Every structure is written in C-alpha cells, then in structure tokens.
Amino acid sequence: MEMQNQQTPLERLGFDQSDADRLLAESLEFKGESLWTDARRRLKKNRVATWSMRFLILFALMSFFAPLLPLRQPAEQNLPNQLQPPSYTFGDSNYLPLVAPGADYDPVKMTNIHGSLTFVDHWLIQARLGIFGRWQTGHWMGTDAMGRDLMSRIVWGSRTSIKVALAATLCSLLIGVLYGAFSGLMGGRIDNLMMRMVDVLYSIPFIFVVIFLITVLKDQEEALAKYGIGRMTVFYIVIGAIYWLTMARVVRGQVLSLKNKEFIEATRVIGASVPRILLGHIVPNVLSIVIIYLTLTIPAVMLFEAFLSFLGLGIEAPEVSWGTLASDSTKAINPIRIFWWLVLFPSLAMGSTLLALNMLGDGLRDAMDPKMRGKD
C-alpha cells in the first residue's frame, strides 16, 4: 500500500517519464484551428466560391472607381446616335462637351450631369480629367433610345444597386441582429412579445407598404428637403427597414441554442451585465450565420430595387440603376425589331452578379458549418 502511494499518477496509469515526454512533444507539434481558420481553409478549396468572391471584389472596385474610368457620361443624350448596336471604335475626345476646355471644375454642374455625387466622386472625376483628359470610350455596348452609352449606364447603375444592398445590410445588422439576440437571450414573456411583433410585421404585405410610402413621400419632397432628407435617402431606408425581420428570427434561433451553454452560464455567475453577454459573447458566436444570411439577402435586395425602379417608383433621372435599364430593355422588344444589346448586356451584368453572390453564400454556408469541421 505504501509503495502505491509513492507512485506518480503517470506510473499508476502504466506510463513512465519517457512516455510522458514523448506525448508532450507530440502534443506541442499539433496545432489546433479556430472555426474561422478552418472555414477560410475550406473556402479556399471551393473554387466556385473563391472565383465568385474574386469576381465580386472586382465588381465592387469597378463600381466604386466608376468616376475614375474613362467612360462616357451616363446621362448624356445624343439623339442622332440612338439605338446604335455595339461599336468597336476605340473612343473619342468629346468628354463633357458642355464644359468649355480649361474651365474650372464646377461641382454643381457635375452633379447636374452625373446625379448625386459624394466628395470622393468629385475627387475621382477630377483625377479622371487629369489622367485621361477629354478622352472617352466608344459605344462598346451600344446606345439606348436616347442615345446614351449603355456600358456607362451599366457601370454607374451598379453603384445604385450596391448602395441599396448596403443600406439593407446595415439595417439587418443594426436592427435584426440586436433585436433577435436580445429576444432570445431574455426569453419568457419578453421573447414572446418581441416575436409576436415580428409576426405582425410579417403579416403586412410589404410590397404595397413600400409602394405606398414612396408614393406619399414623393409628394413631400420639398418638406423633407428642409431637414436634409432626400428621396434617395427615404428610398434606402424604406427598403432596408423591411429586411431585418428574417435576420431577427434567424439570430433568435441561434441564441436559444447558445443561452444555456456553459460559457454563457459562467459569464452570468461572475456578474456580467446583459449588454456585455449580448455583445461580448452571444453576437460573436452567431456571426457566421449572420454573414451567410447577408450574402443571400443582398441578391434579393438588388432584385427588389430593380423591381421598384422598373415600376417607376425607384431611381429617377439623372440617376441610373439596373432597374431603369430593365425598364428600358422592355421597350426595346417589339414585333418589328429587337434591339438585343439593350436586353443582353444589362441581363448579363445583373445575372452574373446575383449568381456570384449566391455561389459565395453557398460556399460560406458549407465552410462555416460546424458539422463540417475537420472534414474535407
């Protein structure tokens, strides 16, 4: 009995010191992986998702730097060149024909020509004039019924689609994630009341609500302008405000499965406040689901914006969006002649972007699935 008490725990298990050193050396060689590291590694192996992400990055950069590119003015009308098929002429030096050569840069005039511009856009246009001068590309994708360059309108129209998608994404993050996480964490009557409010909002046909709000606010543009609120701002807020409901439900379901875990109970024991538990422990653990859902929401938002613009309730001239291009393309289809470029190129731009977003969303879903960890 005394000999057994003198044995070390390793010796009692049948190991000696050399075995312990060997096991320790092997454990030091093994490096664990976090969920994000494992997800990134598996995402890289998904070629479809990887190439979709690269395409979307290039698409976003092209949209952001559209004022820097030597494109034609998206709202410039040239009736003698209306409905011209794609031309492979390299370009000309007739950019900004209404601005005298050597004239000082006028932000107001540029805003009237291009639509709403930020200070970054003004800076990019000045850089474009410094790099390319008055040179501009040819009608590589043809012109529309007003003689406007189609390629320029597709590129500038993508900026509007991205803005609307970002507005909806921001609303989903700020409202949906916090609302759903708080509801799931509190539970009980608070959770029941908050989810019933979501159910009531879900029962409202939002397409009619959005059309009603945009139509009513359209008559109040002057009153809203006094507070610095333009029609585009209202348009972004209305669209973004209806896409947080599903996010709230998704996040609530994830929080319900996390709220009774040991690490959450430990934070309660040490006296952590509800905001600290919510923002420091709950939200970071549902980010993977949030990211996946957002990549699948953005295509729906883009289509919804295109639908409203198609009905004439969205973007107004001189602004341009993919929805207005879709509306123009329907006028190009008639029994006598089909102006195919007005249908083909906008469809390719929108279709390829939406397909890439969906492929990236599927790839992220597979990469961040906890059940797939360690499996290739």
From residue 42, give the alpha-carbon distance in Å to each of 150, 317, 339, 367: 39, 45, 44, 6
The mean pLDDT value for 332-360 works out to 84
| CA 104/CA 289 separation, integer angstroms | 51
The mean pLDDT value for 162-168 works out to 80
User: For 182-208, how does the pLDDT look when each residue is reduced to its tens digit (9 = 90+)?
Assistant: 898 888 899 999 999 988 888 888 777
Note the pLDDT of residue 50.
92
| CA 326/CA 347 separation, integer angstroms | 8
* Residues constituting the chain: 376
| CA 209/CA 180 separation, integer angstroms | 23
- Evaluate if residue 242 carries a pLDDT over 90: no
Confidence of residue 129 (pLDDT cuts 50, 70, 90): confident
Confidence of residue 317 (pLDDT cuts 50, 70, 90): low
| CA 130/CA 298 separation, integer angstroms | 35
Structural domains of the chain sorted by starting position, each given as residue range(s) with its CATH number in brackets: 35-64+149-372 (1.10.3720.10)
Confidence of residue 3 (pLDDT cuts 50, 70, 90): very low
From residue 191, give the alpha-carbon distance in Å to each of 181, 210, 245, 282, 344: 10, 27, 14, 16, 49
Report which of 172, 181, 175, 180 is spatially closest to residue 281, judged by C-alpha positions: 181
Q: Where are the beta strands (DSSP E) in the chain?
A: 91-92, 136-137
From residue 366, give the alpha-carbon distance in Å to each of 114, 253, 337: 42, 19, 46
Which position has the higher pLDDT, 303 or 372? 303
| CA 134/CA 92 separation, integer angstroms | 8
CB 9 within 8 A of CB 19: no
| DSSP assignment string, 143-189 | B-TT--BHHHHHHHHHHHHHHHHHHHHHHIIIIIIHHHHHHHHH-HH
Confidence of residue 374 (pLDDT cuts 50, 70, 90): low
Give percent above pLDDT 70 in the chain.
81
CB 168 within 8 A of CB 243: yes
Note the pLDDT of residue 2.
47
Confidence of residue 119 (pLDDT cuts 50, 70, 90): confident
Which position has the higher pLDDT, 169 or 143? 143
- Evaluate if residue 235 carries a pLDDT over 80: no
- Evaluate if residue 318 carries a pLDDT over 60: yes
CB 323 within 8 A of CB 305: yes
The 10 Å Cβ neighbour count of residue 280 is 12
φ, ψ for residue 143, nearest 5 deg: -125, 165
The mean pLDDT value for 165-182 works out to 83
Note the pLDDT of residue 172.
78
- Evaluate if residue 5 carries a pLDDT over 60: no
Residue 313 DSSP label? S
Confidence of residue 117 (pLDDT cuts 50, 70, 90): confident
User: For 130-162, how does the pLDDT look when each residue is reduced to its tens digit (9 = 90+)?
Assistant: 888 888 888 899 898 888 899 999 999 888 888
The pTM score is: 0.77
Q: At 215, which helix (H) or strand (E)?
A: helix 206-218
